[in-house]
C-alpha cells in the first residue's frame, strides 16, 4: 500500500514539475548563454510574431527592447548606441553578425548550436 501511495505522490510531483516548465525554456536560456540577442520594439508586428514562437519561454530569451513605452516612434538609447535600424534584428555570436528578419526556431538553433527540444 505504501508503495502505491508513494508512486501516486511521485507521479503527481512529476506532472506538476513538467507542467511548470515551458516548452522552449532551455532553448531560450541557451540563446542567452551563447550571447545571441534579439532587438525589437513592442509595437513591431514582426517582433510579436517572433516572440509568439517562444510562447511563455520568451521570458528567458535574449531580448533588448528598443521601443519607448507609449510611443511608436523614437528609440531607446541602448539601441541607438548599437545602431539598430530595423526590427527584429538578431545578433549572433561569435562574430556579432546582425540580421534584420524573423527567424524560425530551427534556424536560430542552427545558427547558435542551441538544441531545440
Question: Residue 81: which CATH number?
Answer: 3.40.30.10
Contacts of 103 (CB under 8 A, 6+ apart): 50, 90, 111
Domain count, the chain: 1
The boundaries of the domain holding residue 78 are: 23-112
Which one has a higher pLDDT value, 99 or 117?
Answer: 99
Q: How confident is the model at residue 22 (pLDDT cuts 50, 70, 90)?
A: confident
Determine the pLDDT at residue 94: 92
Contacts of 47 (CB under 8 A, 6+ apart): 38, 40, 41, 87, 88
Residue 95 domain-assigned (yes or no): yes
Determine the pLDDT at residue 117: 75
Residue 5 domain-assigned (yes or no): no
Determine the pLDDT at residue 11: 46
Amino acid at each position: 500500500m505504501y508503495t502505491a501511495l508513494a508512486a501516486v505522490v511521485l507521479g503527481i510531483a512529476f506532472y506538476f514539475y513538467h507542467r511548470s516548465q515551458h516548452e522552449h525554456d532551455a532553448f531560450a536560456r541557451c540563446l542567452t548563454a551563447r550571447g545571441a540577442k534579439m532587438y525589437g520594439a513592442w509595437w513591431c508586428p514582426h517582433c510579436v510574431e517572433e516572440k509568439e514562437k517562444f510562447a511563455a519561454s520568451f521570458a528567458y530569451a535574449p531580448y533588448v527592447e528598443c521601443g519607448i513605452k507609449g510611443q511608436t516612434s523614437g528609440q531607446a538609447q541602448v539601441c541607438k548606441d548599437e545602431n539598430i535600424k530595423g526590427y527584429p534584428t538578431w545578433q549572433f555570436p561569435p562574430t556579432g553578425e546582425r540580421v534584420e528578419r524573423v527567424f524560425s526556431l530551427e534556424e536560430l538553433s542552427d545558427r547558435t548550436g542551441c538544441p531545440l527540444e
